[in-house]
Amino acid sequence: MESTAYTKRLLTYRLSLSHLKEVGLTHVFSYLIAGETGFSAALVRKDLSRLKVKGKRRGGYEIDTIMEAINEHFGQQKTNKVVLAGMGNIGSAIAQYKDFKKRNIKIVAAFDLDPAKQRKGYDIPVYPLNKCRDITMEHTIDAAILAVPAFSAQAVCDQLIQCGIRGIMNFAPVNLKVPENVYVSNVRLSDELQQVIYHATKES
Amino acid sequence: MESTAYTKRLLTYRLSLSHLKEVGLTHVFSYLIAGETGFSAALVRKDLSRLKVKGKRRGGYEIDTIMEAINEHFGQQKTNKVVLAGMGNIGSAIAQYKDFKKRNIKIVAAFDLDPAKQRKGYDIPVYPLNKCRDITMEHTIDAAILAVPAFSAQAVCDQLIQCGIRGIMNFAPVNLKVPENVYVSNVRLSDELQQVIYHATKES
DNA sequence: ATATTATTGTGACAATTTTCACAATTTAAA
DNA sequence: TTTAAATTGTGAAAATTGTCACAATAATAT
């Protein structure tokens, strides 16, 4: 089992590095990444060492080298294909979200039970859910985004898994039950916001 | 400093408990919560003990008692008011998101620079950003949701902080720089999805 | 050329978090 | 009423995670 905290930090590093690169830097010091991301410099060095990226004493790390190593860690040679289940508020926003492209992630199909939502105005085709099997047969789908209402989330989730999907980014406020070999990441907007409120309003 | 993992677990417990309650239960055992949430039973008990919730040996815990304790931990007597900056894809989806109400969270105002988006069709009023000060003077705002494009995120964030906001839920793919007393929670959709893909596609 | 300074890389340490294991206790059964 | 079974509550142990401190070394200044 691999620490997700570590993996998460890598993504944070990459975000900062892409910013620093845009600003014109080619090399960075551990404390620079630390300043950008909020992690300690020692931890940054430990992480880079674990990533097998070498720096030069007194010269720092090369940004491109780090970024390549991170990309490689996430196996980003090819485009990753995902599907989107649910074209309500959140689903539609996700469908229009441009940032995925930068990561080489493509939403190849969306599903919604409502016929009115099928094939409407997005450049992602929208099908009824029973088309899922066909899509997964046709493409190699790496993950699904689940953006359906809470009451149907488990059922839709089960179907996605039946179609061979092993990774789910879940927006429904539900604790999904899935087999061991399926990975679920819960994006709980209310919980997240509640935590922010909690931390912001408690006397420091 | 308090562990956010613990706080996060509490929210997960609450979600499961509300589900179990709907299903008709009034009492639960630690292993039941464990099964629902994926944490270990021992950890659940430790957390409940830390929350000062008492169970009965052989009788389990009362759901309502746990839920009250969790709500109290998050200080949910009154309605929490938040503002929303940015009415693009994600901002609009958030504006229409119904689940916040259940948590006693209310979006009292939204901001967008685009005049076309101001006051359009939502039941949340949309103002230009310079109205922010007025809003924060008028209401006690507990947090802000930042859903503006990456290039303007830091600037908007600075303004929010200037208006006295201490908590930010950030959707922009940017590592915000904020003073120590401001809490930021980053919702990185691309990172999240990338992690899902990573875990789902690596050979287990 | 030499000395000085800055920075990495890492082993040892500290802190935190989780699990383990079992006594205490309650309930149910015999 | 006694025994058996189930479950909490929690110290102690284990595991994990992060920090500290400093030797090694590369770059720069003298």
What pLDDT, in 10s, does the model give residues A135-184? Answer: 999 999 999 999 999 999 999 999 999 999 999 999 999 999 999 999 99
In window 107-166 of A, residues with CB < 7 A from nucleic chain C are none
CA–C1' distance B46–D1 (Å)? 35
CA–C1' distance B49–D8 (Å)? 10
Residue A60 clears pLDDT 70, i.e. is over it: yes
Nearest-Cα distance to chain A for B3, in Å, is 11
Nearest-by-CA chain B residue for A182: B200
Residue A1 clears pLDDT 80, i.e. is over it: no
Using CA atoms, how far residue A113 sits from A82, A89, A128, A137, A156, in Å, is: 18, 14, 5, 20, 11
Q: Which residues in chain B are closer than 8 Å to A80, comparing Cβ atoms?
A: 194, 197, 201
Residue B118 clears pLDDT 90, i.e. is over it: no
CA–C1' distance B10–D4 (Å)? 35
pLDDT tens figures, B57-115 = 999 999 999 999 999 999 878 899 999 999 999 999 999 999 999 999 999 999 999 88
Q: Percent of chain B beyond pLDDT 90?
A: 90
Mean pLDDT to the nearest integer, B165-183: 96
d(CA A193, CA B185): 8
Provide the pLDDT for residue B119.
67
Measure CA to C1' and name the residue nearest C8. Answer: A57
- Looking at the DSSP bridge assignments, the partners of residue A126 are A110
Asked if residues A191 and A171 have their Cβ atoms less than 8 Å apart, the reply is no
d(CA B93, CA B187): 14
Q: Percent of chain B beyond pLDDT 70?
A: 97
Average pLDDT for chain A:
94
Nucleic acid strand C within 7 Å of A30 CB: yes
Provide the pLDDT for residue B115.
83
Q: Which residues in chain A are closer than 8 Å to B170, comparing Cβ atoms?
A: none
Which of B151, B119, B6, B140 shows the shortest CA–CA distance to B73?
B6
CA–C1' distance A180–C25 (Å)? 35
> Which bases of strand C have any atom within 7 Å of the beta carbon of a protein residue?
5-11, 16-21, 24-27
Find which nucleotide's C1' atom is closest to B39's CA: C18
Q: Percent of chain A beyond pLDDT 90?
A: 90
Provide the pLDDT for residue A3.
82
- Looking at the DSSP bridge assignments, the partners of residue B185 are B169
pLDDT tens figures, B3-32 = 889 999 999 999 999 999 999 999 999 999
